[in-house]
Structure 1
């Protein structure tokens, strides 16, 4: 009996030690963190008086590709992590898209680094830059929103390290990470859950006028709570601060919110999949104050499907069927071109690249 007792005590102590180590391995963030942007070579400022600025936003789904239905995609999804051959193939495709588009600024969401077990501890940004070769971006800023040495979820059971990355062909003068409101979970789940954020980066211009690029990934599964409205509210406060300083900005990313389109997408998706989004989308507050890609006009016109940005990893869905990724922009900009790259990206990620070409109004 004593041996059984001591054995159980040793097992219990080991479990407590593992939980304790996992708990302290989580990186926890204050409301604002100064980020040090880096440039691997000297580059000239953006010639803002003479050249448009091309911005591309893309949730790359940690380079997993479209061969999986993950456990969080649908109930009973069988997959937990991608194979290395799939992430390598997807890195090749993302690099080709960036070479083809040649944007000045790239906002990436869901990119993993060398501390994430799910993608084989590969530094995906370094691998992408290597593939870009002469097209590699000299300047970058990064902000993690899921970082822990051990997540004890049975479908994860390992280290995670996921971040927002903004790449620029022009010098970055400063950057900071802004914490978004957190989902209301129990204390244990809250500790190991995503800490969604906004990565704010400023680029230098010839005129000395700074330009702010804001990159984000809002929470998913926030329907029925005030979370999405609170995350939009935090974003609006930051954008208002930039407006008051007369700083032009572009705000892009995966917002996990249906668009301001008269509830057309909400009605269709609710009919087919149930109420997985709020009927009154919190993103409407951004549409009411600022311009967007895609605009409400794009989404209400004939051919609205070409503005869909999300192709769920769901066997019931055979094509992109909703818009949840956007580029919002301040009133100092003139928009020259806007589009969603759909024609050759449907097998790359469950999201599609959103692209805008802007110039500052003189």
Structure 2
């Protein structure tokens, strides 16, 4: 999840910034489709030449902030992190990746040139400090300056990392939130899908598709984004192309027993559900009217974590909490495929708690013969 609200400086200050930076747009706005940004590790490590299964993982790494009490998503006050703190968290992330050894990694909330994370290119750093060789990146939030709480320069997005070459990467634009005023929307996140073609041994075509849908929308923006994500998968399926797909979908499984987290997520000075409370629900914490929004994905494609398994032991599969000092208490992160996962191969890594407010999820994908 990411940035519940962004509060802005007075309009006069904003106009002054715009005047200074008038040569280039202050906020990057994207075309419907664009090329993703490609990366290569400084030192390539030979990938397997033949595979029967590959390890696939998805992980929202929270821009290297660990469980820091950041102002945007954990009722905290921190805004800008020093480089040594970011590197400490990245080293923990890299250690888990080297232990788990995923062959393909879907990342969300990755910073590449952001003031808040000391301008570290986290895609390049992770390639250079793990066994993964190639990467593709699509920005979700890119601005010369975010005039809120000193955030400054921002470039955060989603990425796909792979042992094998990424031969094509496409950024697909998703709709903006429909419940924000114009000024807030201008500076807010611009969600996207990252669709990558990977040269996997033994397959003529193979794709890995990554998405991070809206976390705090109070309208149907997230539903529209999920539908577009599924449409992109349907296009691959209609052509008979195998894929793995997933990410941080900011949605609960359709059989989740708890769907309202407003009271457990609220800050001390917040109140919800009372007769005089407006709004009645905390943004990003009320899933009750959304509980069916994942049904089409479950009906059409194979999840790494089966609904029956999830229902039998929900807490085992939880992947997120917005609270800096609490265990994971809901599942928001998923993997799907139009082929098959090796039965019983899925893992949800609660040991990742020091490194992110999201736990990674992995499974072994059976390479079609």
- Please say whether Structure 1 and Structure 2 have the same fold, judged by a TM-score greater than 0.5: yes
Q: Distance in 2 between matches of 1:211 and 1:308?
A: 29
CA spacing shift, 1:336–1:212, aligned 2, 3 Å: farther
- Measured against aligned partners, the alpha-carbon deviations of 1:329-358 in whole angstroms (never above 9, x if no partner) come to 11355555101011x211110001110101
What SS does structure 2 have at the residue aligned with 1:265? coil
CA spacing shift, 1:35–1:306, aligned 2, 3 Å: same
Q: CA deviation at 1:361?
A: 4.0
Q: CA contact under 8 A between 1:45 and 1:205: conserved in structure 2?
A: no
Q: Distance in 1 between matches of 2:77 and 2:13?
A: 30
Superposed counterparts of 1:272-351, under 5 Å: 272-273=264-265, 275=281, 276-279=285-288, 280-281=290-291, 282-301=293-312, 303-314=313-324, 318-331=326-339, 334-335=342-343, 337-342=345-350, 344-351=351-358
* Structure 1, unpaired ranges of 5+: 1-11
After the TM superposition, which segments of 4 or more aligned residues of structure 1 sit over 6 Å from their partners?
A: 41-46
Residue 67 of structure 2 corresponds to residue 58 of structure 1: no
CA RMSD of aligned residues (A): 2.6
Q: Higher Cα Rg: structure 1 or 2? A: 1
Aligned to 2:6: none
Aligned to 2:129: 131
**Structure number with higher helix proportion:** 1
Q: Distance in 1 between matches of 2:348 and 2:245?
A: 16
What SS does structure 2 have at the residue aligned with 1:349? coil
Q: Distance in 2 between matches of 1:42 and 1:57?
A: 22
- Measured against aligned partners, the alpha-carbon deviations of 1:285-323 in whole angstroms (never above 9, x if no partner) come to 21122221322112211x3211000132355xx211000
Q: CA deviation at 1:228?
A: 1.2
Q: CA contact under 8 A between 1:174 and 1:201: conserved in structure 2?
A: yes
CA spacing shift, 1:79–1:226, aligned 2, 3 Å: same
- Measured against aligned partners, the alpha-carbon deviations of 1:203-254 in whole angstroms (never above 9, x if no partner) come to 113334211101111111123x111110111111101100001111111211
Q: TM-score, normalised by structure 1?
A: 0.85
Aligned length: 337
Q: TM-score, normalised by structure 2?
A: 0.83
Aligned to 2:98: 99
What SS does structure 2 have at the residue aligned with 1:85? helix
CA spacing shift, 1:329–1:241, aligned 2, 3 Å: same
Q: Distance in 2 between matches of 1:334 and 1:89?
A: 34
Aligned to 1:197: 192
* Structure 2, unpaired ranges of 5+: 1-10, 266-271, 273-280
Aligned to 1:249: 243
Q: Distance in 1 between matches of 2:322 and 2:12?
A: 42
Q: CA deviation at 1:13?
A: 8.2
Residue 140 of structure 2 corresponds to residue 145 of structure 1: yes
Q: Distance in 2 between matches of 1:42 and 1:69?
A: 36
Aligned to 2:233: 239
CA spacing shift, 1:157–1:310, aligned 2, 3 Å: closer
Q: CA deviation at 1:34?
A: 2.3
